Structure 1
Amino acid sequence: MLSVSCPSCGAPVAFRSHASVMAVCEFCRTTVHKDAGAVQDLGRLSEVLEDYSPIQIGTSGKVGGRGFTVIGRIQLRYAAGMWNEWYLMYDDGGSGWLGDASGQYTVTTARPLPSGWPDFERVRVGAQYDLGAGLFTVSDRRVATCVGGQGELPFRVGDGWQARVADLRRGPAFATLDYSDGDTPVLYTGFATTLGTMQCQLLRDDEAIKASAGRYRGKVQALQCPSCGSPIGYLPGMAANLVCPACAARIDAATPQAEVLAAGERAARVPLTLTLGAVARIGNQDYHLIGAMKRLDDDGEEWTEYLLYTPRGQFFWLVETGEGWWRSEVLDEWPEPGTPAAPKVALHNIAYERTLDYPARVSWAAGAFNWKVAAGERVRVREFERGQTSLAAEMNDEELTWSRSTPVADDQVRAWFKLPAPPTAPRGKSAMSPNDLRWRFLLWMLGLNAVPLLFNFFDTVVWLAAGIFALFISFDAKKD
């Protein structure tokens, strides 16, 4: 480990990895460049926005049998949200990256770039490219800006530095083509993972997060809408893209001062089965309903999607349709072949057939979301089914996501949210109209006469007709 003095304030700055070329002074935020034994002051780098990630500098774990330690971090922001890239130093001297976005994680390392890679401007979401290990499907393509950093990094970066990246997926595998340094990209490959799978140690607990941020991770806070002043419940750092339920203004709460992105008009009251802020007890965890939106297709069919979050888990959607309720979760492992244009896909060796292909548009939204959402946004949806399980690919020009949905009974939803049972029809004579009684009695008479009808057809039919005539006459007389 190399330790140098900060050129700005004199505080010690450590370089633990030989691959690190710069580090951020913990005391004055100066970026220190290591070059041929000398150090240079590259100016100050902004502090990262507190996003309540449990990861921190010094977190350790194991991936593929290799131990690692987190030694650096850059925070990147793009049009629809933000994410962290944690720089890893492996025990064997290698290095890699841990992507951290809304509780979903990927681990990657640099690999040789095969021939046939596309130009950044020609990369298209949903297209497939061979990266030397089979065809990968482009999941997103974006230009992001660095808004903060910590610790050591393997390249020079500062405020305003831009990353041009395209992410690709193949089953559980993950890859990134990074065009930040020019037209020839750097290839990083790896896979999706979880903190538990990585056996992470030295994660920040609730008390450590509260000490640095002033509040607990995952605790819903209230923010006054800068446009109309109405309170909005949200998760700071986790779901900071807000839509005011009162005035429909879109708000970016991921900045020191909440910014109104687009002032909306006073929103009409939209009836919802579940209310924003409601808490569901699912298993042994409390899930907060933090966002809701309505979507519709070109045929006018509408449904409602509710976003739920728990501090110890990931986001998931509860979808209310005319056919019932569905629980939908974003997939880390993609089906094969991964492209929504395929007539069939397979997940965990189970085949799903495409059944629906339609455009969907957001018609209304309110609450907090982990990406920027607004009325009018459109995606193309392709659904694949096997039994009662459905896979859905949602795609626009910037992103492709896959999710899996399973049905949830109405009684189960009511139990989760402690909702009252639906009203039942009254019982007794008043519950049945005279016509209902008439036809029920008629059916009873037909059944009663069915057996003798077989043995004495003519006589039975005569008496049956007379009885039916008398029945109708009596009912009509009572009605008058």
Structure 2
Amino acid sequence: MQIVPCPNCGAQIEFRSHASVLAVCEYCKTTVLKDAESVKNLGKMSDVLEDYSPIQIGTTGTFGGNAFTIIGRIQLRYSDGMWNEWYALFDNGKTAWLGDASGQYTLTTEIHANAQLPEFTALIPSHSYLINGQNYIAADVRTADCIGGQGELPFKIGQGWQAHVADLRSGRNFLTLDYSDSNQPQVYTGQAVSLDELKCQLLRDDDQVRTSAGKFKGKIEILACPHCGSSTQFLPGITTTIVCPSCHSQVDTSGPVSQILAAGERVEHVHTTLKLGAQATISGRQFQLIGLMQCSDNENTVWTEYLLHSPKAGFLWLIETTEGWARAIVLDEWPVWMQEDAAVLGKVPFHKLYRYPATVLFAAGAFNWRVGIGYRTEVVEFQGGQNKLAVEMTSSEITWSQSSPVSADQIRAWFGDAVVVNKTSTDENIKALSTKFIGLILALNLIPLLLSINTWIYVLIGGLAIYLPAKYLNSYFEEGNE
């Protein structure tokens, strides 16, 4: 361990890893570069945005029988969201990176790649690449800006530093190609992990996550939409994007000042079974509904997706369609995609059901990526027994999720009184049934009356006696729903 004074405030800065060349002063946020004989002040580093991550500097864990400690972090932002890279120091002196993106984690270490590697601009998500004798699928290819840093790091970063990275997957195996410094990338390999598997200790607790999410240290959280002033009353902290439920503006909250990304117009109230802020106990964990969106396909089929978050369990999706409910999670282990018509997860085969474009029609709440009206993905669904797989593809990213059916009774058991009955739909059903019933009665009465030529005037009077009350009732229902 090497201890040096901060050249700005004089506080002690510890370099625990010999590989570290940079550290961010905990007290004044000065970026300190460690040279062979001195330290240099590189200016202040932007503070990191406190997000939903339970990890912090000082978190410990084990991997492969070796203990590690988190000693640094960089926070990266791209066009659709942000993620953390935690710098881990093992007790044996080796280092690794713990990737942290929306509750999914990967642990990777740098290796030497012997093969010729593709150029950054040639990489395409969903395409297969042979690297070091193993086939990988490109999961995402993106350019990201460094927006903050903490602790000590093995390379120099600062304002304006960009990362050009591609992540590739094969089952649970993970590979990152980092083109940030040259056209010949640095190669990192590892696998998808969970915090439970890593036996992590000294994590932030639920209260710390809940009260700090979306905040900068020492600054006041902004909860008012800068476009219409409406308050986001459903959540005390957010990730990178809020879609205002009142005016539909998309608000970027990954910086110290909220900015409007796309000003929206006020929209009519959208009826959903679950509302923002609803809470549920699922598998013994407390979840809160933080975002919802309605989507449609090319056949105008509409469904609703609800994003839930738990400080302990991370993110969870509930999907409501005309066929019922489903519970979905984003997969750490990717299936093997057998050309176009089949996929295999573990040893379970799945056959292709549909391929369709999905477009967001409405969104409100907080999301862990940038979403708004018109956001579009290409979806392929697969069926295996009661479960389904779905692969969602954009020009820069591909993700896999698995869903299983959930009964409406189970939804009510989870959410209790928070489940909303759509009164408008109920009234319209009553109106439709009433109209059919009145029409049937009218037809039955007309049959014997029309057989008599001299009774047409009575038929007319009887018809008006039935029609006019029905017309009044329809008007009453319409006024009651306005």
If the length of structure 2 is used for normalisation, what is the TM-score? Answer: 0.83
Report the counterpart of residue 410 of structure 2 in structure 1. Answer: 412
Q: Aligned equivalents of 2:36 and 2:306: distance in 1? A: 55
Q: After TM superposition, give the deviation of residue 237 of structure 1 in Å.
A: 5.7
The answer to whether structure 1 residue 357 and structure 2 residue 355 are counterparts is yes
Contact 1:222 1:231 in 2 (8 A): no
When residues 277 and 104 of structure 1 are mapped into structure 2, their CA distance, relative to the original with a 3 A threshold, is: same
Report the counterpart of residue 60 of structure 2 in structure 1. Answer: 60
When residues 269 and 286 of structure 1 are mapped into structure 2, their CA distance, relative to the original with a 3 A threshold, is: same
When residues 270 and 222 of structure 1 are mapped into structure 2, their CA distance, relative to the original with a 3 A threshold, is: farther
When residues 181 and 234 of structure 1 are mapped into structure 2, their CA distance, relative to the original with a 3 A threshold, is: farther
Report the counterpart of residue 115 of structure 2 in structure 1. Answer: 115
Q: Aligned equivalents of 1:350 and 1:211: distance in 2? A: 41
Answer with 1 or 2: which has the greater Rg: 1
Partner-residue secondary structure (3-state), 1:223: coil
- Share of identical aligned residues, percent? 51
Report the counterpart of residue 261 of structure 1 in structure 2. Answer: 261
Q: After TM superposition, give the deviation of residue 255 of structure 1 in Å.
A: 2.2
Q: Aligned equivalents of 1:411 and 1:211: distance in 2? A: 32
Partner-residue secondary structure (3-state), 1:397: coil
Q: Aligned equivalents of 2:59 and 2:315: distance in 1? A: 23
Q: Aligned equivalents of 2:78 and 2:51: distance in 1? A: 15
Q: After TM superposition, give the deviation of residue 133 of structure 1 in Å.
A: 4.5
Listed as ranges, the gaps of 5+ residues in structure 2 are 216-220, 441-446, 452-461, 463-482
Contact 1:85 1:98 in 2 (8 A): yes
Which residue, out of 364, 369, 379, partners 1:366? 364
Contact 2:214 2:237 in 1 (8 A): no
Report the counterpart of residue 476 of structure 2 in structure 1. Answer: none
* Number of positions where the alignment pairs a residue of Structure 1 with one of Structure 2: 431
- 1:272 maps to a residue whose letter is T
When residues 284 and 124 of structure 1 are mapped into structure 2, their CA distance, relative to the original with a 3 A threshold, is: same
When residues 145 and 235 of structure 1 are mapped into structure 2, their CA distance, relative to the original with a 3 A threshold, is: farther
Q: Aligned equivalents of 1:37 and 1:209: distance in 2? A: 40
Contact 2:273 2:421 in 1 (8 A): no
Q: Aligned equivalents of 2:214 and 2:344: distance in 1? A: 45
- 2:51 maps to a residue whose letter is D
Q: Aligned equivalents of 2:289 and 2:196: distance in 1? A: 25
Report the counterpart of residue 389 of structure 2 in structure 1. Answer: 391
1:223-273 alpha-carbon deviations (Å, 9 max, x no partner): 221111222245566534111111110011222222111110111222212
Q: After TM superposition, give the deviation of residue 158 of structure 1 in Å.
A: 0.6
Q: After TM superposition, give the deviation of residue 35 of structure 1 in Å.
A: 1.9
Q: Aligned equivalents of 1:229 and 1:136: distance in 2? A: 47
1:447-478 alpha-carbon deviations (Å, 9 max, x no partner): xxxxxxxxxxxxxxxxxxxxxxxxx99xx9xx
Report the counterpart of residue 319 of structure 1 in structure 2. Answer: 319
Report the counterpart of residue 347 of structure 1 in structure 2. Answer: 345
Q: Aligned equivalents of 1:277 and 1:374: distance in 2? A: 19
Q: Aligned equivalents of 2:356 and 2:240: distance in 1? A: 29
- 2:228 maps to a residue whose letter is C
Report the counterpart of residue 440 of structure 1 in structure 2. Answer: none
Q: Aligned equivalents of 1:118 and 1:157: distance in 2? A: 25
Report the counterpart of residue 242 of structure 1 in structure 2. Answer: 242
1:133-174 alpha-carbon deviations (Å, 9 max, x no partner): 511111111111111111111000112210000011111111
Report the counterpart of residue 99 of structure 2 in structure 1. Answer: 99
Partner-residue secondary structure (3-state), 2:414: helix
- 2:381 maps to a residue whose letter is E
Contact 1:20 1:153 in 2 (8 A): yes
Report the counterpart of residue 172 of structure 1 in structure 2. Answer: 172
- 1:8 maps to a residue whose letter is N
Partner-residue secondary structure (3-state), 1:231: coil
Listed as ranges, the gaps of 5+ residues in structure 1 are 216-220, 437-471
The answer to whether structure 1 residue 305 and structure 2 residue 305 are counterparts is yes
Q: After TM superposition, give the deviation of residue 81 of structure 1 in Å.
A: 1.0
Q: Aligned equivalents of 1:279 and 1:198: distance in 2? A: 29
Report the counterpart of residue 232 of structure 1 in structure 2. Answer: 232
When residues 178 and 278 of structure 1 are mapped into structure 2, their CA distance, relative to the original with a 3 A threshold, is: same
- 2:308 maps to a residue whose letter is L
Report the counterpart of residue 40 of structure 1 in structure 2. Answer: 40
If the length of structure 1 is used for normalisation, what is the TM-score? Answer: 0.83
Q: Aligned equivalents of 2:331 and 2:207: distance in 1? A: 31
Contact 1:6 1:13 in 2 (8 A): yes
Q: After TM superposition, give the deviation of residue 353 of structure 1 in Å.
A: 1.2
Report the counterpart of residue 473 of structure 2 in structure 1. Answer: none
